[in-house]
Structure 1
Amino acid sequence: MDHAQHTRLDVSEYTEAVLTGATVYGPGDETVGTISHTHGTGQGAQVVIDVGGFLGIGAKPVLVPVTQLDLMRDENRGVHAVCNWTKDELKSMPEHRD
Structure 2
Amino acid sequence: MGTADPVATTATAADHLWRLGELLRTRGLHVRVGATAGGVPQLIVISMTVPTLSEVIFAARGGDHWWFWWSWAERIAPVTDTQAAVALVCDALRPRRSDR
Q: Same fold (TM over 0.5)?
A: no
TM-score by length of 2: 0.36
Q: Which has the higher contact order (CA 8 A, sep 6+)?
A: 1
Select the structure of larger CA radius of gyration.
2
Query: Of Structure 1 and Structure 2, which has the larger fraction of its residues in helix?
Result: 2
